[in-house]
Amino acid sequence: MARHDRSAEARLGRLEDLEEIERLILDYQRHIDARDFRAQSLLFAEEGEWVGASGSARGPAAVQAMFEAKLAPADGAAAPRGFHLTASPLIELDGDRATAEVACAYIVPGPDGPPALHTYGHYRDVLTREHGSWRFLRRESHYDIPFHELAPSA
């Protein structure tokens, strides 16, 4: 009976870890779409790294600064409103480490109003449990279909 209890506890712990990692992925999406780069950066571990077309940075403060420099409008005007859709997270747990691959599409207002697909890609993540919470140790952004390939030909 005691052995079964440990197994049930281990299974419950695994489900809780998966749920927390999925929430981390959704929180990232929510914060970047809100342009809350501080909240977004706090999802990274102390040595967490972002790698993508917008650049690379290590540590929450550097990640925040990079996104502010790349995505904040220089003239103080409101940033174009788009939103990310993330789906199909494939998460592999290994103790206090995990990996994930997540599909992502970026949707923007189209020229005539209806939503338009801007970019489609995926994230490759290495995650770590730091101070009792899951954080991004490395988040890589990959464009599978970049904007220029989605734009209609002239």
What confidence category does residue 13 fall into, taking pLDDT thresholds of 50, 70 and 90?
very high
pLDDT classification of 109: cutoffs 50, 70, 90? confident
**How far is the C-alpha of 92 from the C-alpha of 97, rounded, in Å?**
9
Domain boundaries, the chain: 2-150
pLDDT digits (tens, 9 = 90+) for 18-72: 999 999 999 999 999 999 999 999 999 999 999 998 789 999 999 999 999 887 7
Distance CA 9, CA 15 (A): 10
Determine the Cα–Cα distance for residues 149 and 105; give it in Å rounded to an integer.
14
Contact 101, 124 (CB under 8 A): yes
- Find tokens 């052995």 and name the residue: 3
66: Cβ contacts below 8 Å, ≥ 6 apart: 50, 54, 55, 56, 57
User: Which pLDDT band holds residue 154 (cuts at 50, 70, 90)?
Assistant: very low
CATH class, 2-150 region = alpha beta
Q: pTM for this one?
A: 0.86
